[in-house]
Amino acid sequence: MQLKGKTAIVTGSTSGIGLGIAEAFAREGAEVVINGLGSPADIEAALARVKAHGRRVAYDPANMLKPAEIAAMVAKAEKDFGRVDILVNNAGIQHVSPIEEFPIEKWDAIIAINLSSAFHAIRAAVPGMKKRKTGRIINMCSAHSLTASPYKAAYVAAKHGLAGLTKSVALELAEQGVTCNAISPGFVWTPLVEKQIPDLAKSEGISEADAKRKVLSRQPTRQFVTVEQVAALAVFLATEAAAPITGANYSIDGGWTAE
Work out the number of other CB atoms within 10 angstroms of the CB of residue 134.
Answer: 18
Which lies closer to ligand NAD via its Cβ, residue 13 or residue 179? 13
**What is the separation, in whole angstroms, between the first and last Cα of the chain?**
37
Gap between the Cα atoms of 125 and 60, Å rounded: 15
Which lies closer to ligand NAD via its Cβ, residue 93 or residue 197? 93
Which lies closer to ligand NAD via its Cβ, residue 93 or residue 96? 93
The helix (run of H) or strand (run of E) holding residue 230 is helix 227-238
Would you give the distance in Å from CA 197 to the centre of its chain?
Answer: 22
Please report, for residues 157, 186, 205, 211, the alpha-carbon distance to residue 201 in angstroms, rounded to integers and kept in the order given. 28, 20, 6, 5
To the nearest whole angstrom, how small is the minimum distance from the Cβ of residue 141 to ligand NAD? 7
Which lies closer to ligand NAD via its Cβ, residue 8 or residue 134? 8
Residues that bind ligand NAD (CB under 6 A): 12-18, 35-38, 63-65, 90-93, 113-114, 140, 142, 185, 187-188, 190-193
Please report, for residues 16, 126, 193, 198, 224, the alpha-carbon distance to residue 215 in angstroms, rounded to integers and kept in the order given. 18, 38, 9, 12, 9
Give the single-character DSSP code of 112.
I
Q: Among this protein's residues, is 250 annotated catalytic?
A: no
Instruction: Please provide residue 194's backbone torsions phi and psi, each rounded to the nearest 5 degrees.
Output: -55, -40
To the nearest whole angstrom, how small is the minimum distance from the Cβ of residue 58 to ligand NAD? 15
- The catalytic residues are 155
